[in-house]
Structure 1
Amino acid sequence: MKIYFPQWQGSGTGEHIESGAYTILQYVNDPDFINISLSDITAGSTGIQKHYINNYDAIVEQLGRLKQEIYLNQPDWIKTIGGDCGLEIVPVSYLNYKYPNLGVIWFDAHADINRPCDSPSCNFHGMPLRTLLGEGEPSMNNLLFSAIDASQIHYVGLRDIDNTELNRIQKDGIYAPKKTNIQELIALLSSKNITQLYLHFDFDCLEPQDYDKTYYQVPKGISIAEAEACITALTDTFEIVGSSVLESITTKSNELKPIEGIIQLLIKD
C-alpha cells in the first residue's frame, strides 16, 4: 500500500512540510499513492494544545482517518510519503501487529521518544516512539493497532537528544550508537530473530552539507552515501515491509537530486 499523507500539524507550525511532501509525490510520479486528507480543524499558530500536545484534535482526527484506510486495505506492506514523524504511529503499529518479528530502524537526528509532559516543544513529531511503546498520551492509544517493545527500536543518525529521551533510551538499552556500524546492526537484528523491518527516514538524519532542505538541520549527520549503503544492506538481509520519507521541505524538484537514490530505495518499486 502506498500512502501520501502530508501531515504537518505534528511539527507545530509545519512550515513547508506539506508542500515538501507534495514535491516528493510529484517527483515520484506514481498514481498508486493514496491521498489521506488532512483535518480542517484549526492548527498551527492558532491551534489548540491538549494533553501537552499542540494541534491535538487535528492530529487525532486525521490519524484516525489513516488508521481506517489501512484497516480497510489490510496491506502486506506500506510505503509512505509525508509529512511529519508523528504519522508513523499508525503504519508502524499496524505492521507490528501483522509481523511478530518486526524491527524498527529510525533514521533520524532526533530520538522522537518524549512523553508529552516532558516535551519542550509539545510538538507530536517528537513523541511517536514513546506513543508506540504505549507510554504516551493514553487517549491516543486507540490509534494504535499494537504497541512495540523498546528492543525493536534501532536508531541511525541520532545526535540531538533531550535528557528525558536519553534516560528512556538508557533504561532499556535501546540501540543508539554515535556512529552506526552496518554489520554490527545487522548482527544485532539477527540475534533478536528480527526478520522484517520498518525503515523510518527523516531527512534530518543526513549531514546538512549533503542535504539541507529539512525541517531541522543538525550538524554531524550521516552522509547520503552512508544512508544508501545502510538501506541497501538492510534490504539485502531482511524483508522490508514498511518505509517512509519524511520532513523534506524543498518545493523545487531539482533540489531533490541529491536524495533521489534514497527515495528510489525506500519508495519506488
Structure 2
Amino acid sequence: MLVIPQWQGSAAPHPQRLTEGAHRLAALFPTARRTVVDIDPRPGRDGDGVRHLDVLTRSLAATRAALSRSGDEALLAVGGDCGIELAPIARAVARHGDSLAVVWFDAHADLNTPGTSPSGGFHGMVLRTLLGQGPSQLLPGPEERLSARRIVLAGARALDPAERDLIESEGIRALSVQALGDPGRLISAVADTGATHVYLHLDLDVLDPEHFAGLSCPEPGGLHPDQLRAALHALTERFACAGMGITEHAPTADSAGSDHVLHRILGGVAIP
C-alpha cells in the first residue's frame, strides 16, 4: 500500500483535511505493508493554470520513486486528493496496455484541462491528464497513457460543459447512479472495453452525503454504501484487479462513523 497524503491538488474549501483522511484510510488495512510517500505539506506556487503546480510535480516524482521500489504486484493507493492516482494508473497502463480498463467511481469526471477547469484544482484534471491532455509537467509517458475507450465512469453526476463534450465526442462509457443499481450493467460496460484487468478508482464522493460524512466535495444523489459494495464485489469477482485507489476522505468531528461505513463497503472485496 502507498499512503500519499497530498492535498494540493484539491480545490475544496478545507483541502488540508485530506492529509488526515489519507492516514485514516490507511488505518483500515492494519496488516498491509505500507509506504508513506513524503509529500511537502506546504502550499506551493501556481503555474500553467494549476494550483500548487510545483508541489504536485515533486509529489509525482516521489510517488513514482516509491512505485519503482514496490515490485510487480497490484497496488492499493490511498490519499489524499484524486491527483495521487496519476502515477499508479500510469504504471498499470504501462503494465497491462489495452487489457486494462479504469473504472472511475466518482461524482466528478475529472476530465478538465487547465484551460477548461473552473477552479484550477488538479483533482479535476487527473483523468484528462492520463489521456495525455494536461499540464506538461504532469503528463505520463506515451506508453503510460490511457485510452478513452478503456474508461468507465461510474456515478458521475456533477460535470462541467467541457467534460460533457469530451464524453460525447470520445464515446466514453458512463453509468449513472441509477444504472449502478444493477451490477450486471457495470460488468457489461467493462467487458465491452475488451479488458481482462481493472484499476478501481474510488473517490468517496461517489457516495451520497446522506450516507457518508467526511467528503471533500460532496454531491447529492450519490450511491448508497451497499450499492458501492455490490459493484466492487462484482468487478473483482469478474476481472483481475490491477490496482485500486481510494481518495478524497476529509474527516471532520461529524464523521466519526465513517470508518464503520468504509469497513462495510470494503469488507470481503479482493483489494490488492
Structure 1 and Structure 2 fold alike (TM over 0.5): yes
Q: Secondary structure at the match of 1:23?
A: helix
Q: In 2, are the aligned partners of 1:94 and 1:144 still within 8 Å (CA)? A: no
Q: In 1, are the aligned partners of 2:45 and 2:55 still within 8 Å (CA)? A: no
Q: Secondary structure at the match of 2:87?
A: helix
Q: Secondary structure at the match of 2:243?
A: strand
Give the deviation of 1:26 after TM superposition. 2.6
Q: Secondary structure at the match of 1:118?
A: coil
1:66 to 44, 54, 63: 63
Report what 1:174 is aligned to: 172
Give the deviation of 1:160 after TM superposition. 0.4
Query: What TM-score comes out, normalization by structure 2 length?
Result: 0.90
Distance 1:150 1:166 in 2: 13
Give the deviation of 1:220 after TM superposition. 0.4
Distance 2:2 2:267 in 1: 15
Q: Which amino acid aligns with 2:262?
A: I
Report what 1:247 is aligned to: 248
Cα deviations across residues 90-137 of structure 1 (Å, max 9, x unaligned)? 000101110120000011001101001110100000011110000111
Bigger Cα displacement from structure 2, 13-22 vs 112-121: 13-22
Report what 1:123 is aligned to: 121
Distance 1:26 1:140 in 2: 29
Q: Tell me: CA distance 1:108–1:242, structure 2 relative to 1, closer, same or farther (3 Å).
A: same
Q: Which amino acid aligns with 2:230?
A: A
Q: In 2, are the aligned partners of 1:160 and 1:218 still within 8 Å (CA)? A: yes
Cα deviations across residues 23-63 of structure 1 (Å, max 9, x unaligned)? 222333235111101026x41xxx32101000000011011
Q: How does 1:1-269 map to 2 (within 5 A)?
A: 2-12=1-11, 14-30=15-31, 32-39=33-40, 42-43=42-43, 47-100=44-97, 101-142=99-140, 146-178=144-176, 179-180=178-179, 181-250=182-251, 254-265=257-268
Q: CA RMSD, aligned part only?
A: 2.0
Q: Which amino acid aligns with 2:6?
A: Q
Q: Tell me: CA distance 1:177–1:119, structure 2 relative to 1, closer, same or farther (3 Å).
A: same
Bigger Cα displacement from structure 2, 12-21 vs 100-109: 12-21
Cα deviations across residues 135-170 of structure 1 (Å, max 9, x unaligned)? 111232257861010011111111000001111111
Q: Which amino acid aligns with 1:98?
A: R
Q: Secondary structure at the match of 1:4?
A: strand
Q: In 2, are the aligned partners of 1:80 and 1:267 still within 8 Å (CA)? A: no
Query: What TM-score comes out, normalization by structure 1 length?
Result: 0.91
Give the deviation of 1:216 after TM superposition. 1.2
Percent same amino acid among aligned pairs? 28
- Which structure has greater helix proportion? 1
Q: Secondary structure at the match of 1:11?
A: coil
Structure 1: which 5+ runs fail to align? none
Distance 1:150 1:250 in 2: 33
Give the deviation of 1:265 after TM superposition. 4.9
Aligned length: 264
Distance 2:268 2:50 in 1: 33
Give the deviation of 1:255 after TM superposition. 3.2
